[in-house]
Every structure is written in structure tokens, then in C-alpha cells.
Structure 1
């Protein structure tokens, strides 16, 4: 493609809810993609109204969903280990986009003081049933009450969803303590599975995913704001999970063996290229 500002990188279909077609436009400044047209704030919640959106439902109707939750339980413990390796003294933790509260529940049981934010009402209800109440929004008053208030802030596959990226990054910077740590998990559109599936790559997930990042993007975004990516952690399971969904979007079937092979190839190629399907970025607050 011609990589000029706002040139069309790819056109993708919303396979989950609407069937609408969206464009992915190139952002030259941050070397990333943005979804166009982006739904306005009033219409965006409708694109999440699906039982297939399992991060909001906890559903276990199929073998795929049952396997997803088994892997998820393992991943939750791994995430906590990553946090403890950077922040061994358990303090105050904020999870933005907390879903049904599972990660906060694990962190709370480990001794962290936890808070969470989740816009989806049904997800908040499920979290509350687990003893983890969540706020709906991080409005201006909440941010002002919590300036330099958190040792750790986490966003597990959430940054790609936020409507106002600039405002979200400003809020995080305000709320994170000096030398505090931000953990951000996002897909990587530079991965092999992304190039293999193209418009059918499930991690594009338009229009719920409004922004599409690479490692270069994350370095540029946070360095500009006085923060530094100090570590990248590959999320190797994501290559398999995303490939399964991508097969379904492309062929109408999960095609477990083909998806497993593509996920395996993606991880193998990433050993040389460094471009895994998703990463957890460990980001330090350097200065206010």
C-alpha cells in the first residue's frame, strides 16, 4: 500500500454484530491504523451486544468457549506474575476495561487493593456478583481524586477499544505514581497471522477495535508522553485463539487443525521477526 496519511490499508467487515464494512486508515505519525468511520459514542455500545463477545458474558456454551476460559484462567495467573516481577510490594491497582472482574478478583485475593472501570453494564453486573464492584467511567472527577494514586494500572486488550485515545493516555499518566507501572496488552497487526488472514484477521475486530498497534506504535505513543516501554512479553496463546476466529470468519468453520497450524507458524516466525500476534507492554512512568 501507499503509506501516506489516511491512505486505506485494508477494508474489513464486522463479523460479530452488524456486517458493516470499515476502512483501516494509516496514521503516519504513530505508524498505526485507525478504524474509519468510527461509530459515535451513542452508537458504539450497540456493537458490543452479542453473546459471542465472551469477555462480557462469561459464557461457556461451546468447546471453543470452554477452552478459552481454561486458557484465560492460566493467563490471569501469568499476568499477576508479570506485575509482581516489576512491583513486588503489593499496592493499589486499577484495571481499566475490567470486563467481568476476573483479573481483579485474582489480584484482590493476592493482597492488592483493587479498583476497576468497565463501561458495559452486563459485565459490571457479573463482576459485582463476584464481589468486585466496578465504576462505569473514569470521568474528570475520578481522575482528579486519584492523581498519582496507583502503583499499577492495567489494560488487558482494552486500549484498542477506547474512543478518545489521547484523553485516555493523559488520564493514565495523571493517575499513575512516579515510577509506577502500566501494563498494556494489545494485538500486533505486524504479526504473521495478521498478514496471513488479511481482512479476516479476527484481531482487527472492527468497529470495536478503533486503533491497531505495532511495537513501533507503542514506543512512539508513550515516549512522547514521558513514559517508556521497558519490556515486551509475547502472548503466544493469542496466535491460536485469533487464528480460530479468523478461520471462522474466512470459511464459516473453526477449522481447528488449520488454525492451530497457522498459530504455530505465527509463533515460529516471530522467533526470528519478533512480531508475535499480541504483546503485553510493560511501561514505566518517568516524569509528570
Structure 2
């Protein structure tokens, strides 16, 4: 991806979860997206995920925060599967989840009648998925001829090393008329503006790219994968605000985070800029 031109410094923030290192986010005007710099090398990125607190790689329910996270996650999983079924106009088909974590989404989809596949690079997460009866592959390169009715990426696209390669790979894997469902944070939301460098969804350097609605539409349309609809993820403003409070003030202020989350959602009803969005795209 040619991102050397039209870049200007947007904000500087640090890795609050693992390393404490500082990173800069540059605004790419062409795509209206932010790019994390310096970008860790592929052989180094793994160390930034080495934390017991990296919640998508664990089923732990040690704290109130983790218990609330998994409670909301359970509710959201069934909504996601219903969205997949409505989008595909079928309650069954061949589904691929890229970055499947510990496999909960694929388990719910499988129980709903979908023939499921998934990839996940983290071995700990793969082991937890296998205990649920979900076998995950390490990479989509394992699928030489398999095509999919629907591909999902739930808060995964922001992690991929090469956006152009990832989009081309999605295009290769989708059936004609197949659907892609992508969920990513939105750096133009109220909670992002409120917390600024402490906004938890920047999550540098694990998040290498930071998207707007314009960037998603533009990036995928280049490969004739066209945006069909954009949906809000209203719970994300509360989850992100809780973590942002911790990063900013050293503790999770539930009342303050709840208030910021509500304000963010109320403002987004007018601006259409929610904390995170789900994008439904079609090949």
C-alpha cells in the first residue's frame, strides 16, 4: 500500500497494555485513515500480544470487567450470526472467520447450521477453540480451492500487516456474490475525540491501521468489493471508554465511562460516527 505521500502527524500515543513504547499515528488524506508508525516487523509483532490481559485470546473471567465483557460478548454473538444469516439470505452456507480468537463466534454459527472455517495465528487461542470443538487453521493460505459464501473479520482488519494483500486474499476466497462483514473501531467517534491519546481503541502497535467510513469504502471498492451497509456497534463505546479511563486515570471509573459511552452514542445518532462500525460488503 503506497502511503508515503499525503501523510501528516495526527496524534502520538503509547502502548498501555504491554511495552509502554510510544508510537505516532499519521493521517493518510487519500484514504482518510490513520497509520501506526513505526510499524513493528512481522517477526517482532508477537511480543506485543504477550499479555494475560489481551482479552480476545483468553476466556478468563477474573475481574468484573472481564465478566461484563464476556456477558456482552455472549449477547453479541447471536446478533452477529443473525446478521450473517440475513445478509446471505440463508441460515446455512460456508462461513470463514478470519482472526477467530477462541472460537466462540464460529461455535454459535456452527450450532445455527453454518459450515464453519476459521483462522487464528495465536496458539493459546487456537487451543481454547479446539476445546470447544472448533479447529482453526493458521492462515488462509491453507485454502487453495475453498470458496466461501461469507467471510467475517470481527475487529481483525486493523491488525493485518499488509492491507492490500489481505483485501486481495479476501477477494480470492469469496464466492461470486459473496459477502464480507468487517467490524473495526472508528477514530472519528466522540469517544476517540474525548480520550485523544488515551483512547483504548488506538491500541498501538497491535492496531496498525485506524479506519473511517471513507477508508473502508475506498479500500475495498478498488477490488470491486462494494459497501452495502454500515451498522453501529453501540456497546463498543462503553467497553472502549472503560479501558480509556484506566489508561488516562489509572483505574476503571465505571460511572464516568458509562456516561462517555452514552454521550458518544447519542452524538452518533446525529453524526453517524459510532465508536465502532460493522461494514457489510459484497463481491
Q: Which TM-score applies when normalising by structure 1? A: 0.95
Aligned to 1:48: 49
Larger mean CA deviation between 4-13 and 126-135 belongs to: 4-13
SS class of match (1:15)? coil
Q: 1:128-143, aligned counterparts within 5 Å?
A: 128-139=130-141, 142-143=142-143
| TM-fit CA distance, 1:223 | 1.2
Give 4+ residue runs of structure 1 displaced > 3 Å after superposition.
none
Any stretches of 5+ residues in structure 1 without a counterpart?
none
Aligned to 2:211: 213
C-alpha distance in 2 between matches for 1:173 and 1:7:
31
Q: 1:121-132, aligned counterparts within 5 Å?
A: 121-132=123-134
Judge conservation of contact 1:33–1:212 (CA < 8 Å) in 2.
Answer: yes
SS class of match (1:105)? helix
2:253 to 230, 252, 255: 255
Residue 99 (1) aligns with residue 97 (2): no
Instruction: Report Cα offsets for 1:177-215 as digits up to 9, x if no partner.
Output: 111110000000000000000000000000000000010
| TM-fit CA distance, 1:143 | 4.4
| TM-fit CA distance, 1:138 | 1.9
C-alpha distance in 2 between matches for 1:215 and 1:41:
27
| TM-fit CA distance, 1:28 | 2.1
Judge conservation of contact 1:143–1:171 (CA < 8 Å) in 2.
Answer: no
C-alpha distance in 2 between matches for 1:145 and 1:56:
29
Instruction: Report Cα offsets for 1:5-54 as digits up to 9, x if no partner.
Output: 22110001000000000000111221100100010011101100101111
Aligned to 1:37: 38
Aligned to 2:172: 174
| TM-fit CA distance, 1:144 | 3.0
| TM-fit CA distance, 1:171 | 0.3
Judge conservation of contact 1:143–1:174 (CA < 8 Å) in 2.
Answer: no
Instruction: Report Cα offsets for 1:104-163 as digits up to 9, x if no partner.
Output: 000001111000000001000100111101011122xx34322xx100000000000001
